[in-house]
Chains A and B, each alone.
Chain A
Amino acid sequence: MASVQISDVRKSFGGFEVLHGVTVPIEDGAFVVLVGPSGCGKSTLLRMLAGLERITSGTISIGERVVNDVQPKERDIAMVFQNYALYPHMTVAQNMGFSLKLRGADQNAIDSKVNRAADILDLRQLLDRFPRQLSGGQRQRVAMGRAIVRDPQVFLFDEPLSNLDAKLRVAMRTEIKELHQRLKTTTVYVTHDQIEAMTMADKIVVMHDGIVEQIGAPLELYDRPDNKFVAGFIGSPAMNFLDGTLKVNGGAPYVETANGAKLPLVDAPAASNGRPVSYGIRPEHLAFADSGIEAEVAVVEPTGSETQIVARVGNQEMIAVFRERHPIAPGDRIHLQPRPDVAHLFDRDNGQRLRA
């Protein structure tokens, strides 16, 4: 086990820079998730960590050692690929033992390590099968087994669950988390799915267009997003943003929208009266009320445990989620009351969070 330090790492393909100076500290034993939309550079960063891509500038250290010029096999890392990358012509046992075989370990040592990993992942019955004969979830477990057998300093996961169906994905999510709690190996996990990030991570790194937008614990990102991007990316359904003008003149501050709705706030930065802002409010923080933002219901989507409402406010769309079952139908005019204590305020020009 080891800590990982990514310092001001840049990556260019040809003349095109895709990572613009990324710094991520990863503590020993942590489960860190790199999350972001496709093309944000998260996979590239992981591949640089693995040694599959060269680092254009900056340094990556594993433990005390800078690994920029260290061969992948010498980095003592193990990676689980999105498509599992199991060797189709080898049995499960051979797949898992391949790295040990290459290192020249004797067959008894290989067998005992493979068996131990197979016990952890419940693969004992499948050791003689070929990847072709396995289901998606089983292949996923074999890929993890291959990583475990090596007993590496760091586990790398590259979108490992995206080829699985929804139900299996949830199950494997739990399994990976349990595995980490058991082995306590430093893990870097790449995904585009913010739910995966929220549920699994000790620490989330939100990336966007080659930069780190925010690093923090899952609930920290949820409760106090640094900017509009993180606010919109974390949480499902996504946070609503309403553009307006900040009003701070005695009394409680509020945001007034173009069509005259008043959005309540608990506090606001001083001396910012008249500032153009984005008012952010999560769907679950909107209450069905007699007063508040007036909206016209467009779509009602009940999921059983909760009901999601898509409503129009002027020319903007808002989403609200209620746990109660209100009698709402498309076309109804309703009032949505934001909870001021959990409202977020962002600068409209640069999207940064405004702190009181």
Chain B
Amino acid sequence: MTTIQMQGQTHSGPSTWQRLRTSRNFIALWFMLPAAAFLILFLAYPLFLGVWMSFTDARIGRAGIFVGLENYEWLWGDSIFWLSVFNTILYTTVASAIKFAVGLYLALLLNRHMPFKAIIRAAVLVPFIVPTVLSAIAFWWIYDAQFSIISWSLIKLGVIHENINFLGDDNWARASVIFANIWRGVPFVAITLLAGLQTVSPSLYEAATLDGATAWQRFRYITYPLLTPIIAVVMTFSVLFTFTDFQLIWALTRGGPVNATHLMATLSYQRGILSGRLGEGAAIATAMIPFLLAAIAISWFGMQRRKWQQGTDND
């Protein structure tokens, strides 16, 4: 029916509907709507709700009323909260730095011609494929106060004389969870950087070789600069994942001993869900947002600097 009506109108130039129907932007808008609806419903709305909740004194079973910045004021004076901030920054910085170094090294190694390359590449991915909780349970045994295989081996080798209390001592616990996180996170970094390495044309290395570059100079002047865009992306993701890590900590230590491994995410869960103080938990979670935005901003501006990647019209 619409078709007939429209044909009637074509005499006096195309109708608004017809112009819309052929407009690429209008069609694009329609195609984007379902995705946008999902994002708004399941991402933006809960986020907004969480931020709103942090300004209320909601508890489980009680809607709560607006209390302004009271939750934040309370957190400001809470030493456990600050400890969790410190832990999170330590955890993220140390784990990300090591993941980057080890991942890059592995990627360079895997990019060489070697026997059983495909199998080795697949093996590198294993820690990434295993469900976090499963690997956490394995680590739990590895770090067990009595049955730890590390302690056992070191005692047998005569390096130490008594078991290491991996998850019971503040610093050992921090080191242990950081190690577990690195083990889990390295494959993502390594495989993504490997993909980046493979986009570098081999003839660039040949040209550099003829230009007189040593292996280190080829890395320093060719590989590294060409890899920076993908490094920026992969490290942004890595930092975001590490900063918001919850599963591994919860399965290994639940934030213990004495909050020594509490991250902001685990503390938020403990306060908000287990203790039922939803408002306070939401405030802790909301406090993570500035850190995450800062991480994104750094990588964003890092990427903007690279003029050589951009189009043709910037002389």
Contact = CB atoms under 8 A, between A and B. Distances in A.
A132 B310 CA distance: 8
A79 B213 contact: no
Given A85-B201, A88-B226, A98 B221 contact: yes
B198 interface: no
B203 A130 contact: no
A77 B306 contact: no
Interface residues of B, number: 25
8 contacts: A51-B209, A52-B209, A52-B210, A85-B206, A87-B204, A87-B207, A87-B222, A90-B308
A78 interface: yes
B203 A89 contact: no
Contact of B210 (A73, A82, A133): A73
B307 interface: yes
Contact of B206 (A52, A88, A128, A146): A52
B211 interface: yes
A81 interface: yes
A73 B207 contact: no
Interface string A50-69: 11100000000000000000
B171 interface: no
A103 interface: yes
B73 interface: no
Of the candidates A51, A102, A150, the one having the most CB atoms from chain B within 10 angstroms of its own CB is A102
Nearest to B217: A102
A72 B308 contact: no
A85 B208 CA distance: 9
A85 B207 contact: yes
A133 B315 contact: yes
Given A79-B207, A132-B309, 14 more contacts: A52-B210, A72-B210, A77-B210, A81-B203, A81-B207, A83-B203, A85-B201, A88-B309, A98-B211, A102-B213, A131-B308, A132-B308, A132-B312, A146-B207
Contacts of A90: 308
B199 to A, nearest CB: 11
Contacts of A130: 307-308
A323 interface: no
A86 to B, nearest CB: 8
A73 B312 contact: no
A325 B315 CA distance: 52
B211 A89 contact: no
A23 interface: no
A262 to B, nearest CB: 55
Nearest to A131: B308
Interface in A95-140: 98-99, 102-103, 128-133
A27 B203 CA distance: 28
B203 A103 contact: no
Nearest to A102: B212
Interface string B187-222: 000000000000001011011111111000100011
B225 interface: yes
A307 B226 CA distance: 52
A136 to B, nearest CB: 13
Given A89-B226, A133-B315, A81 B308 contact: no
Interface of A: 50-52, 72-73, 77-79, 81-83, 85, 87-90, 98-99, 102-103, 128-133, 146, 150
B308 A99 contact: no
A73 B215 CA distance: 12
B203 A99 contact: no
A87 B209 CA distance: 13
For the complex of A and B, list the 5 residue pairs with the smallest distance between their C-beta atoms, beginning with the closest: A73-B212, A99-B211, A85-B207, A85-B203, A130-B308
A85 to B, nearest CB: 4
Contacts of B201: 83, 85
Interface string B159-189: 0000000000000000000000000000000
Contacts of A77: 210
Contact of B209 (A72, A82, A128, A150): A72
B306 A89 contact: yes
A81 B211 CA distance: 13
B30 to A, nearest CB: 35
A52 B204 CA distance: 12
Nearest to A47: B206
A150 B211 CA distance: 8
Contacts of A72: 209-210
A87 B206 CA distance: 11
A50 B314 CA distance: 36
Interface string B2-17: 0000000000000000
A214 B241 CA distance: 64
Nearest to A152: B210
Contacts of A132: 308-312
Contacts of B226: 88-89
Nearest to B313: A133
B212 A129 contact: no
A54 B177 CA distance: 49
A299 to B, nearest CB: 40
Contacts of A51: 209-210
A129 B315 contact: yes
B315 A128 contact: yes
Nearest to A147: B210
Interface string B293-308: 0000000000000111
